[in-house]
Amino acid sequence: MTRGGGVLAPPVPAPRHASLATLALIIGGVAIGTTEFVTMGLLPQIADGVGTSIPGAGHTISAYAAGVVVGAPLIAVLGATWPRKGLLLGLMVAFAAGNALSALAPSYGTLVGARFLSGLPHGAYFGLAALVAVDLAPRGRAGRAVGTVMLGIPIANIVGVPGATWLGQHAGWRSAYWLVTVLGLVTVALVALSVPHLAADRTRSARAELGALRNLQVMLTLGVGAIGFGGMFAMYSYIAPTVTRVTGLSESAVPLFLLVFGVAGFVGNVVAGRMGDWSVLLSMVIGMVGLGVSLAVFALVAPYAVAALVTLAVAAVLTAVLVVNLQLRLMQVAGNAQTLAAAGNHAALNLANALGAWLGGLVIAAGFGYTAPSWVGVGLAVLGLGVLAVSVRVHQRDTGATIRRHRPAPAPVA
């Protein structure tokens, strides 16, 4: 195991350019975060570009998410014993190729396939980047190293997604995917130059990682993410047409909504960590209940610009609280299957992405309007809360502890 796992391992030589290596991993996260969310801001342009409806274009979001769901556990298991630098490079080359194919896609069907391929490296990249960050970090700073690497997603939401959306609106939607392709290739170059050779952890095996699938609490936690988190994606997948057709603003306002969502999510990450120190399970409950309530409010206030923007920001904070504490909970209950658990979390969240975008598209296509996905999201949040209630009950039965007193114990991140 790596140093963060608490098992003795041969020391890894510090790279000459450790800061450059960290930057490379962050840029890779920015690229992945941008491509995951930029489609939502360009749905009308993509629909026009490939000759489909907005709900049909929404299926490209589901296709990307399906790629993450398939690729995250598969690559995590098959690549458990591979050299980390080589696997990291392979993942980013595949990611860049998938986004280049997205930019070149001549038809709707080709675009859907390209988005699926683009999603395959997503979850495995973030899990592997965390492992590499721990290997490069000084002893005792593993958690801080992982937190730094994971800044890629909030940076993407603050800068990458609004910027790529603006670019796609002014230079054509394909330019957004070309931008992501370039970021992926920059990551490949920086990883090749700055990340040292890191031997695979031979104490791990595919069989050991798959053991996580027999853990009831792991599966329940993944279920909370896969179902409940779909509520946010049901609403957010169609934020662009909601802003223009319900709120009545111009397309130029869409990047502003995306920016506010990103900044609020960044704040939510900070809040989520402090809440996790208080109680992981109770923070998950607060996040899920709050998300459901904020989605209902958003459906009601969507015609009013300021109220819609504020409610979207609140939903972003609660989303971050839920996501961060889902990851903390998996770290607590996954035992030795940390790699699959980390990748599985991304798979579950992107299953939620696919589910939410698909159900949201169905209600729009059925003629219920662009606020209907938010009401779908409320229903998914309620279902996710039901799964969480089962998890809490099992936790109390097995430990005899209340969720308020439950604090995250130190856990390996690799």
The answer to whether residue 356 scores a pLDDT higher than 50 is yes
**Considering its fold, how many domains does the chain have in total?**
1
Q: What is the pLDDT of residue 212?
A: 59
Can you tell me the mean pLDDT for 201-220? 68
For residue range 113-126, list pLDDT tens digits in order: 999 999 999 988 88
Q: Do the beta carbons of residue 209 and residue 344 sit within 8 Å?
A: no
Question: By mean pLDDT, which of 48-57, 211-220, 337-346 is the weakest?
Answer: 337-346
Q: What is the pLDDT of residue 8?
A: 38
The answer to whether residue 388 scores a pLDDT higher than 50 is yes
The answer to whether residue 80 scores a pLDDT higher than 80 is no
Residues ≥6 apart with Cβ < 8 Å to 193 = 17, 20
In a domain, 343, yes or no: yes
Can you tell me the mean pLDDT for 326-335? 76
For residue range 23-46, list pLDDT tens digits in order: 899 999 999 999 988 988 898 899
- Specify burial of residue 38 (Cβ count, 10 A radius: 0-12, 13-18, 19+): buried
In a domain, 152, yes or no: yes
For the CA atoms of 369, 370, 375, 378, the dihedral, rounded to the nearest 10 degrees, stands at: 160
pTM of the model: 0.71
Can you tell me the mean pLDDT for 209-225? 78
In a domain, 413, yes or no: no
Q: What is the pLDDT of residue 7?
A: 38
CATH of the domain at 82: 1.20.1250.20
Mean pLDDT of the chain: 82
Q: What is the pLDDT of residue 411?
A: 40
In a domain, 404, yes or no: no
Percent of the chain with pLDDT over 90: 37
> In whole angstroms, what is the distance from residue 111 CA to residue 163 CA?
21
In a domain, 406, yes or no: no
Domain of 331 in residue numbering reads as 16-399
In a domain, 184, yes or no: yes
In a domain, 147, yes or no: yes
For the CA atoms of 305, 310, 315, 318, the dihedral, rounded to the nearest 10 degrees, stands at: 180
Can you tell me the mean pLDDT for 166-185? 94
In a domain, 412, yes or no: no
The answer to whether residue 409 scores a pLDDT higher than 50 is no
For residue range 279-310, list pLDDT tens digits in order: 888 889 999 999 999 999 999 999 999 999 99
